[in-house]
Structure 1
């Protein structure tokens, strides 16, 4: 007997048969793509269809082969197929439900793909018909909600989430996906939260559920009231917010841990280290987006960021399972459980404590190294936006600056020839804000290149500004090596001036220059409220005097451009005005230093000599006090 080979829904006999045989399901698809109702000749057509294994490839290719006019001719049959798929979701037979879910995915993808090349029809009308769309989507969302909340098959839940992700992501711009209006009306927020609240479900579907929620939150978020935003903003997960370590021990509390716990586990799993001790990570914009939405929309999540726990690997307590999925929507890679269960290693023999914020800072320090890669550039931007949200939050700032809660944070530092690698064991325990400032300094120092990441620099300096505003407001005297920040900022100004021609062709570099100069004005004008000791002021003045040539060159550049009638006149003049105090310091001290050197026949003064001069003459220095509106102005908050 001749053997048959299967290809694209066709059965080819190995003998010299002229016509290939078609699978029955393919023949049934062909009937649907005729203009007549297929159930006229076969009353049991729809019942039999959903007992057949779906041929996704054939169904999608068939839709793709039709032009817009041909598709409109079979609109009634497409509507009928869509409606019968929804009806099949209520069947008890799981095979029918699985086949209906897969068919819906193929239909939605196929029709949307056709609409990209032919915009002569409406997606909703083609799939459901305008007159039945509201009822169809209501029934669909209710069925999906029931399947997600049921105790049934995990594979069915996975298919439901895949269908929802397919529905959400078929358009490039989520806000242009009109079908999502029905997903807003018929909310599945509680079903998603239930999946994330149950450890076994979270392990199987957590990644897809978190990504789906993050996407739904972004649907027309600025144009209308998004119910998913409202519901996410009021989630108050008691077990997750409980700062005790019972969540690691008490299964009942773990059962209630929900969205925050799922997201905490996923963010905590971003590290992958190779054998050569080079640290690399998978960029995962989807999880970062979910983290941003949680931090931005729900103040309760800030407490989760701050929640301390023993470093994993040192304790024998159960770790919440990590969600994995076989398919990766949006081209991202879900966290891998074998990678993640290896969390932070101790820095010494003592048990260290960690939290989600430390994990996030370490992740950011790695991702933000290479902004030449587009994925890492986007991830780095998301990291800085999340840090901006944190720096704007009063509770987060209080935790960051708490001198009684100290951590060792081993940030990744890019190898550079002019500096030695810091030994991990020598890391001091400090308030977490020091790690945030270290991260900002590291970024400033390591990204001065002709492909200048302007937007990231602006966000980075704004984060420092927000932290200083909090310190000034609450009179927090942070013991930090401020000189590293000052040196990094001055070198940034030097870089901008050295590459003026190249950078001005692409960017308004005066935005960054003004931010940097105003940071120095913050230290000069209000440093007495937050600098740790009087000697810190001496260090500030010394750094300004030592690097005065850079400020002089900056003043010459902005003065030149502000006196010319060009496009940079206004932004350059703002920098000119902001330099008043720095120039006052330089003009006041330099003559004194030169006079001291001449009298004592010294060609080059030591730092101690300059600082002694500073102490003696600083009291006579008068500043042009810039308005608080300029220096303490809160930059536009993240939206």
Structure 2
């Protein structure tokens, strides 16, 4: 057979997209600072960006080299702004996508003088105000009235990128000079999906927290008087969806369905039986060390959206009201409040796994505290009309009793606090977490007592948990004392127990529940004395003495009958309960007034924590932008 006249050229070893060659031309290492031609930019903004390649190229450039090449980066920045202003497809979308990658990579480098160096890289010090003002105005217009929702979403993401990347510099101040709030709200109003809403809501949180304690932040002022229910509800539904996704990530690591349950029975349990599949898929169970590592990486970056929810809740009563009452548009899905409480349950059980997770638990507790401090809202949270079903975390023992069916939100909140107290006991105790948790508990019980509201709850679990916490603190006295916040935490704990003892008849559902509190207190008599002595509470704590006096009163009754005869040392629980009932007649509880008093939430009191939370949210915003 004669050889074919056709020959095959050898293939190049690596195919590179044309845009990669253009990136190399843009950031080549030479001293040529000349303006690149219009033809170059025309071609540049016709090719879809290659994010991985651009990131890799920019990562290889040192901060000093970036400053050295600032003429080229300034050209890219100005040309991209121009393409967005011209609003011609596909160049405007390509420009926004390129800016998002470029800004995130270029602005997060460790410059010697971050604020001035970043301005040099983007605009040059002489033209900074003009270029940056034009940039912000261009983004503002694109967000509010861009030619398409995909373009508007890209504009939001670009704004989020520059805000997050430059958060520790003066760069975001340009977004406070020009108020983007109306445009962001118009954008949210026009969104059709939660995916579109999320970055805008996230961005609002960052803008609201930018230097919020150093000057009067205009976005914080905007939150105060915003009353558009439709837009607020869109944001809350978006938040609910994010909570469900974040919660499901915990379940994916370890499916904590109660033993013997099926997905179908669980759906029936939460009122969604019609959605039950014929069979339940199984997921492999990770090894303990792998599970530990996976849990430590949670929650996902979407968690940062909670910062916006917190700021809105702290500033705006209308927002709080909607957060409590808004239901899901799709009846097969959880309401935002249900999704939020479910996520909180998982977050609390794993709060100790990382500093980042702990910071978000504080933020969650801030929101819960704000809700229960509002008398109208807490009344709703205790109302049978507000009953809902919430999947609570059961990934670690001890487990709370399973309650089938719907419950009032306040009962679920009590479970969250009980679980949080039980699952974060460490020698290096997180004082902030326990102070906030006990504070939410005090506010809830205070309302129940004053309003004489009796909700269905397994109260014995609450008393068992609080007294077990007393035992833990006593056991690890030296470690606890080294925590400077322990004094405040212990004061709240003691006052809470004394308040329950003196006012329980106003909120506990029946005499048996009240008897149980006394029973558990008597059981803990020796521990209470050791606790008092360990933390020096003999003189300054009237509440502590009240607890010990009550315990001592019943101990004397249990040791001898009314005629002074010694009782058997082995009394049954029923006999002890009978003695407790008899003892009420001779019991005098000298509880100090005002045990249920609390100070309204103030940002200034948690300023340090909020600054740390904002920094964590900034890091998550960068990760979120990569994932969207």
Task: Tell me, yes or no, if the aligned pair for 2:81 and 2:95 is still in contact at 8 Å.
Answer: yes
The verdict on how the C-alpha distance between 1:36 and 1:501 changes in structure 2, with shifts beyond 3 A counting, is: closer
The verdict on how the C-alpha distance between 1:154 and 1:204 changes in structure 2, with shifts beyond 3 A counting, is: farther
Partner of residue 91 from structure 1, selected from 78, 86, 99: 86
Counterpart position of 1:593: 558
Partner of residue 183 from structure 2, selected from 161, 179, 191: 191
Alpha-carbon shift at residue 127 of structure 1 (Å): 2.1
Counterpart position of 1:460: 437
Alpha-carbon shift at residue 285 of structure 1 (Å): 2.0
Structure 2 distance, partners of 1:603, 1:434, is 37
What does 1:251-262 correspond to in 2, within 5 Å? 258-262=234-238
Structure 2 distance, partners of 1:60, 1:178, is 26
Alpha-carbon shift at residue 486 of structure 1 (Å): 1.4
Q: Deviations over 1:26-61 (max 9, x none)?
A: 335449x6354336xx57665565456667646974
What does 1:510-589 correspond to in 2, within 5 Å? 510-534=487-511, 536-559=513-536, 576-589=541-554
Structure 1 distance, partners of 2:202, 2:126, is 32
Task: Tell me, yes or no, if the aligned pair for 2:443 and 2:596 is still in contact at 8 Å.
Answer: no
Alpha-carbon shift at residue 180 of structure 1 (Å): 0.7
Task: Tell me, yes or no, if the aligned pair for 2:163 and 2:206 is still in contact at 8 Å.
Answer: yes
Structure 2 distance, partners of 1:119, 1:186, is 22
Counterpart position of 1:331: none
Counterpart position of 1:497: 474
Partner of residue 392 from structure 2, selected from 408, 411, 427: 411
Unaligned runs of 5+ in 1: 12-21, 242-256, 315-342, 345-354, 560-571
Q: Deviations over 1:183-239 (max 9, x none)?
A: 112222233223322343x35522222222222221112222222222233332334
Counterpart position of 2:336: 356
Alpha-carbon shift at residue 8 of structure 1 (Å): 7.6
Structure 2 distance, partners of 1:81, 1:294, is 37
Q: Deviations over 1:147-182 (max 9, x none)?
A: 2334634443343233212201214xx3x2311111
Counterpart position of 2:256: 278
Output the TM-score relative to the length of structure 2: 0.76
Alpha-carbon shift at residue 98 of structure 1 (Å): 3.7
What does 1:76-225 correspond to in 2, within 5 Å? 78-105=73-100, 107-109=102-104, 111-116=106-111, 121-150=116-145, 152-171=147-166, 174=167, 176-200=168-192, 202-225=193-216
Structure 2 distance, partners of 1:410, 1:55, is 42
Higher mean C-alpha displacement, 363-372 vs 279-288: 279-288
Q: Deviations over 1:447-469 (max 9, x none)?
A: 33445333222221111011122
Counterpart position of 1:27: 25
Structure 1 distance, partners of 2:541, 2:324, is 41
The verdict on how the C-alpha distance between 1:605 and 1:119 changes in structure 2, with shifts beyond 3 A counting, is: same
The verdict on how the C-alpha distance between 1:23 and 1:401 changes in structure 2, with shifts beyond 3 A counting, is: closer
Task: Tell me, yes or no, if the aligned pair for 2:63 and 2:110 is still in contact at 8 Å.
Answer: no
Unaligned runs of 5+ in 2: 1-8, 258-294, 605-628
Give the 3-state SS of the residue equivalent to 2:305 in structure 1: helix
Structure 2 distance, partners of 1:53, 1:405, is 50
Structure 2 distance, partners of 1:530, 1:416, is 28
The verdict on how the C-alpha distance between 1:275 and 1:223 changes in structure 2, with shifts beyond 3 A counting, is: closer
Counterpart position of 1:267: 243
Give the 3-state SS of the residue equivalent to 1:178 in structure 2: coil
Q: What is the root-mean-square deviation in Å for CA atoms of aligned residues?
A: 3.7
Task: Tell me, yes or no, if the aligned pair for 1:304 and 1:356 is still in contact at 8 Å.
Answer: no
Give the 3-state SS of the residue equivalent to 2:34 in structure 1: coil
Alpha-carbon shift at residue 551 of structure 1 (Å): 0.6
1:603 aligns with 2:569: yes
Counterpart position of 2:286: none
Task: Tell me, yes or no, if the aligned pair for 2:345 and 2:416 is still in contact at 8 Å.
Answer: yes
Task: Tell me, yes or no, if the aligned pair for 1:521 and 1:631 is still in contact at 8 Å.
Answer: no
Alpha-carbon shift at residue 394 of structure 1 (Å): 2.4
The verdict on how the C-alpha distance between 1:287 and 1:574 changes in structure 2, with shifts beyond 3 A counting, is: farther
Task: Tell me, yes or no, if the aligned pair for 1:232 and 1:298 is still in contact at 8 Å.
Answer: yes
| Higher normalized helix content (fraction of residues) | 2
Give the 3-state SS of the residue equivalent to 2:85 in structure 1: coil
Q: Deviations over 1:387-416 (max 9, x none)?
A: 222222223201112245434444233453
Structure 2 distance, partners of 1:158, 1:415, is 40
Counterpart position of 2:307: 289
Alpha-carbon shift at residue 442 of structure 1 (Å): 2.3
Task: Tell me, yes or no, if the aligned pair for 1:545 and 1:590 is still in contact at 8 Å.
Answer: yes
What does 1:301-340 correspond to in 2, within 5 Å? 301-307=319-325, 309=327
The verdict on how the C-alpha distance between 1:394 and 1:137 changes in structure 2, with shifts beyond 3 A counting, is: farther
Counterpart position of 2:318: 300
Structure 2 distance, partners of 1:103, 1:400, is 47
Structure 1 distance, partners of 2:55, 2:153, is 21
The verdict on how the C-alpha distance between 1:625 and 1:154 changes in structure 2, with shifts beyond 3 A counting, is: closer
By relative contact order (CA 8 Å, sep 6+), the higher-ranking structure is 2
The verdict on how the C-alpha distance between 1:306 and 1:113 changes in structure 2, with shifts beyond 3 A counting, is: closer
Task: Tell me, yes or no, if the aligned pair for 1:98 and 1:159 is still in contact at 8 Å.
Answer: yes
Task: Tell me, yes or no, if the aligned pair for 1:413 and 1:442 is still in contact at 8 Å.
Answer: no
Structure 1 distance, partners of 2:381, 2:140, is 40
Counterpart position of 1:380: 361
Task: Tell me, yes or no, if the aligned pair for 2:236 and 2:336 is still in contact at 8 Å.
Answer: no
The verdict on how the C-alpha distance between 1:107 and 1:356 changes in structure 2, with shifts beyond 3 A counting, is: closer
Alpha-carbon shift at residue 596 of structure 1 (Å): 1.2
